[in-house]
Structure 1
Amino acid sequence: MTDTVSAVDLRRAFLAHLAGDVAAAEATYRAALTHPAFAGAAYRHLTHLLEAQHRWEEALDVAREAHRRQPQAADVAVHLATLLLGLGRYAEAWPLFEARAALAAGRVRPDLPYPEWDGGPVRSLTVWDEQGFGDAIQFARFVPDLVARGVAVTLVVRPELAALFGGLGAAVVPAQGQLRIPVADAWTMLGSLPGRLGVTLETLPGRTAYLHTPEDRREALADKLRPGARIGVVSRGKPAHANDHNRSLPYEGAAFLLSLPGAQSLLPDESPLPLKDFADTAAVMAQLDLVISVDTASAHLAAALGKPCWILLPWVGEDWRWLHDDRTDSPWYPSVRLYRQPAPGDWAGALRALAQDLQVFLKAR
C-alpha cells in the first residue's frame, strides 16, 4: 500500500472486508488513518474489523485513538464506551456512555423543570426509560436499590413495560398520552443509573430475581401452555436491530430448538397465547423450566425473573453486556448460561454444546 489512499481504495477495502479478505482491508484502513479526509471512516472500519476477529485489545487501542482525535464525536465516544464495557472496565466506560444522549437513539431525554441527577443525595427522582426493551429490563435492577435508600422513584416507561415494572417499588407512569409526572429533586435516564451509582463488576449486585410476574397476569395465563411444554424458545429478535442478521437463528437452528422435547415458542407471532406485553410473557415464563433465547429482550426478561435462561450469542456483534472473555456465566444474571458461537456464523457448534447440556438439565428436573 502506497502512502496515498483514495476514496476508491477505501471503498475497495470495505468490499474486501465484507468478502472476508480482512488482511487486505486492514492494510488499507491502517494506511488511511493518516489521511485527514478518510481517517474518521478508517478508524470506524478498522475497529469493527478487529472486533469481528475478537482482537479486543487492539480494537480498544484504535477506538481510544479515534476518541482522542475526535473528542466531540458522540458515536466515537459511545463505541469506545461499549468496548470498555465488554472488557469489564465499567468505571472508565460509564462517563463515555453518556455521549449516547447526542445520538438519534438518545433523543428521548425529558424536558423537566428540575436538574439532571449527578448521583448525589436526593429524596425523589424521576427515571426515564430509553434504548431497547432489553436495556430497560437490565437497568431496572437498580430501581429497588434507590427505593431501599429511601428515594421516591417515579419510573416513566413504555406501555409494554409498565405492568412488569409495577413491582419494583417505584411509581410507574406509562409513557403515552399526556403525562402527569410528579415534581422531583432530579431526573435521570434509566441507562445512566449504573454510572451514577458507580457500579463496577465487583460491586454489581447479583440478584437472582428482581422482577416478578403480576398476580393478575399469572392467574389469567395459568395453565395456558400446551400440555408438556417445559422450554420456552425465542429464536429471533426484531429485524430492525442493527445486528439481527448475526444474532437471530437461521431457519434450521430455529427448527432444531422447536423440535426439543417440550419446546414452546415465545414469539408473539408463533405463539397461540395472547402475549400483549412483557407482563404476559413473564406469566408464561413462570410456568416453564427453562428459556432458550437469542440475545434479545426475552432473554433479559427470563433472567430478571430468575428463570434458568440459556442465551445463544453470535461471534460477530457480540454485545458488551455478556463480556468479551468467553465466560459462560453472567455477572448481571445468576440464572444465565451463555452459548457462544465458536467461530463466525457457527450456530451448529453453539447448538451442539447446548444440546449436550440440555440432556443433563432435563434428567435432573
Structure 2
Amino acid sequence: WSGEANKRVFLWAEQGIGDEIMYASLIPELAATSSKLIVQCDERLIPLFKRSFVDGIEYRCRKSPALEDSYDCHIPMGSLPNIFRPSLDSFSKASKAYLRCESERSQELRKTLLKGEAKTLIGISWNSSSPIAGAHHRNITLSDMAQHLDGPNVKLVNLQYGDVSDEIAKLREDHGIEVAEVSEIDNRNDIDGLAALIMACDQIVSIDNATVHLAGALGANTRVLLPFNRSWQWGLERSDSYWYGSLQLHRQKKPGDWKHALKTIK
C-alpha cells in the first residue's frame, strides 16, 4: 500500500511490541482512508486496540494470518511513517493519548495500592529484554532508580516485566525501600492489565522499553531515562518526544552514567 484511498489494507507488524505500540498511533489515519483494515499484531495488544480504535477493524495475531483474497494491498507497520509522518511538522496531527485502558479496573487498582494513604504513586521500570545489540546500555539498576525516587510521600509501583521478586527483596533488605507489586497482573503478558496499572499511577519513570511506549500511548505522565547512545525515535537532543506528547526525556551525558539524568527528574 502506498497511500491509495478506499482500498482493503492489510497492516502487519514486523518489529517488537514497543514498536507496534508506537506505530499504532497511525492506525486511525490508515483506517480513515481504507475501505477495510486488517491489523496483524501481537495478540497481547488486541484487547487494548479493540477498545481504543474505531469499530470495523479486523484484528489478527501471527498464528492466524489474513487470507490473501481478503485484502487488496499490504504494508508493514514500520513503513506507515513514510506516508503519514514525512516531516516533523506532520507529527502535530498526533493524538496525545490514542490507547485507552479499562478505566474501572485502573481506579480499583489505584484504591488497592493507596490503601487510603495520600501518597504519590510512581510506577517504575528499569530493564529491557530487547534483543537489539547494545540494548543492555538502556538498563539501570533498581537500586539506583529507587533510591533517587523514594520519599515519605511516595509509593513505588512495579511495572517491570519478568520475575524481579529477588531484586525487589534485595532492595528492601539493603535500603529499606518497598516496591509494591500487583500479583494479579503479569506485566509481560497481560498488556491490558499493565495499561490499567500504568494509569493508576501519578507518574511513570522508565528506561526505553515496551513499558514506556505503552505509557506514552496512554498519555501517562512519564519520565524516560535514555542512554548516551539512544534509539532513533527519541531524536538527538530534545527533551520532549514527537511520538508521545506526555513524555519527558532525560538523557545520559556520559555513557553508563545515570547521575545527571536522575537529577533532572523531579
TM-score band by shorter chain is 0.7 to 0.9
Over 3 Å counting, the alpha-carbon distance change for 1:250 and 1:331 in structure 2 is same
Distance in 1 (alpha carbons) for counterparts of 2:226 and 2:11: 30
Higher relative contact order (CA 8 A, sep 6+): 2
Instruction: Say which SS state the counterpart of residue 264 (structure 2) adopts.
Output: helix
RMSD of aligned residue pairs (Cα, Å): 2.3
Amino acid at match of 2:227: P
Distance in 1 (alpha carbons) for counterparts of 2:106 and 2:60: 22
* TM-score normalised by length of structure 2: 0.80
Amino acid at match of 1:152: K
Residue 188 of structure 2 corresponds to residue 284 of structure 1: no
Instruction: Say which SS state the counterpart of residue 241 (structure 2) adopts.
Output: coil
Residue 165 of structure 2 corresponds to residue 272 of structure 1: no
Choose which of 145, 161, 181 in structure 1 pairs with 2:29: 145
Distance in 2 (alpha carbons) for counterparts of 1:240 and 1:256: 28
Distance in 2 (alpha carbons) for counterparts of 1:229 and 1:344: 31
Amino acid at match of 1:171: E
Instruction: Say which SS state the counterpart of residue 291 (structure 1) adopts.
Output: strand
Choose which of 230, 237, 252 in structure 2 pairs with 1:341: 252
Q: Give the share of equivalent positions with the same residue, in percent.
A: 30
Distance in 2 (alpha carbons) for counterparts of 1:347 and 1:333: 23
The answer to whether the Cα contact below 8 Å between 2:110 and 2:201 also exists between their aligned partners in 1 is no
Structure 1 unaligned segments of length 5 or more: list them: 1-116, 359-365
Over 3 Å counting, the alpha-carbon distance change for 1:198 and 1:241 in structure 2 is closer
Aligned residue pair count: 236
Q: Which has the higher helix share?
A: 1
Structure 2 unaligned segments of length 5 or more: list them: 165-180
The answer to whether the Cα contact below 8 Å between 1:309 and 1:336 also exists between their aligned partners in 2 is yes
1:238-283, Cα deviation, whole Å (9 max, x unpaired): 1644223210003532332563522111113343332232111101
Give the match for residue 232 of structure 1: 123
* TM-score normalised by length of structure 1: 0.59
The answer to whether the Cα contact below 8 Å between 1:221 and 1:280 also exists between their aligned partners in 2 is no
Amino acid at match of 1:281: L
Q: Displacement of 1:123 after TM fit? A: 2.5
Instruction: Say which SS state the counterpart of residue 286 (structure 1) adopts.
Output: helix
Looking at CA atoms only, which structure, 1 or 2, has the larger radius of gyration? 1
Give the match for residue 221 of structure 2: 308
Distance in 1 (alpha carbons) for counterparts of 2:61 and 2:121: 32
Q: Displacement of 1:311 after TM fit? A: 0.2
Give the match for residue 53 of structure 2: 168
Residue 148 of structure 2 corresponds to residue 263 of structure 1: no
1:2-29, Cα deviation, whole Å (9 max, x unpaired): xxxxxxxxxxxxxxxxxxxxxxxxxxxx
Residue 5 of structure 2 corresponds to residue 121 of structure 1: yes
Give the match for residue 211 of structure 2: 298
Amino acid at match of 1:272: V
Give the match for residue 71 of structure 2: 184
Distance in 1 (alpha carbons) for counterparts of 2:85 and 2:245: 21
